[in-house]
Structure 1
Amino acid sequence: MTSLYDHAGGDEALHRLEEIFYAKALADPVLREVFSHRVPSHVDHLTWFTAESFGGPDRFTRELGFEYIIGVHRGLHITDEQRERFVRAYLEALDEAGLPDDEPFRTAVREHVEFGAHVAQRNSRAETDEELHPLREVPHWTW
């Protein structure tokens, strides 16, 4: 079966998706509290993470490692409203980026983003390492 990565259109499509999503996050009044300024490497890092999660190259793990993403979220204290806005903006970006709109793909992406947003929220609130979500590697998402 084709990977989500290939079905999405590979790096080019995922980079387009992450660029659109990131612009939405920076412009959103609720998400702006978490995405306070443009970080030049952010879109590439988001692309690497999504690509690896969807069955593409393992650049995120090789170049950054999962501890990096834990560190990025720690101390952000992501609210429920921010988590929900993140998911909604990401799903809107799928359409704007022209990614496939078939139900199996959209369901897999929605579940991936919702799961990731919960992990990020938990890690953003963790005061100790024991309070972190137990996930310690890029999740491999499939259909």
Structure 2
Amino acid sequence: MPEHPLHVATWLAEVFGGPSDYTEHHGGYAHMLSKHLGMAITEVQRFRWVGLIAQSADEAGLPGDPEFRSAFMAYVEWGTRLAMGNSQPEVSPPRRAPVPRWGWGEAPPCAG
């Protein structure tokens, strides 16, 4: 999927307060959820993806200060754990929800 990195970047931009491009162009939460349903993501796969996102953040020149990285990686941890849970075959996650808006220190409530 050559377009996947762009979709991830667009999703993350919206989550962190940028424009609602993921919602407007891809369908928001419902679309993102549909891409993970039934994939049965494992903890090993989730952990690897977290590492790749951290490496990509470095390569993209995102700020490296502890405050920024703490908030950024907290979202990545939170989001990947939800995605992993929602990807399991026996799970029926909510089909409609807004794209989460991540703050710079607090986590939104987990609905899953």
Residues 89 and 133 (structure 1), Cα distance of their counterparts in 2 relative to 1, 3 Å cut: farther
Q: Residue 98 of structure 1 is aligned with which of 61, 72, 78?
A: 61
In structure 1, the residue corresponding to 2:87 is in which secondary structure?
Answer: helix
Q: Which has the higher helix share?
A: 1
Question: How many residues matched?
Answer: 103
Larger Rg: 1
- What is the Cα-based RMSD across aligned positions, in Å? 1.8
Unaligned runs of 5+ in 2: 105-112
If the length of structure 1 is used for normalisation, what is the TM-score? 0.65
Q: Deviations over 1:23-76 (max 9, x none)?
A: xxxxxxxxxxxxxxxx23322211211110011000111222211111100111
In the alignment, the residues of structure 2 paired with residue 89 and residue 135 of structure 1 have an alpha-carbon distance, to the nearest angstrom, of 28
> Given that residues 66 and 136 in structure 1 are in contact (C-alpha distance below 8 angstroms), is that contact kept between their aligned partners in structure 2?
yes
Within the candidate set 100, 103, 107, 2:70 is matched to: 107
User: 1:73 aligned to 2:36?
Assistant: yes
Match for 2:12 among 50, 70, 81?
Answer: 50
1:62 aligns with 2:24: yes
Determine helix, strand or coil for the equivalent of 1:140: coil
Q: Unaligned stretches of 5+ in structure 1?
A: 1-38
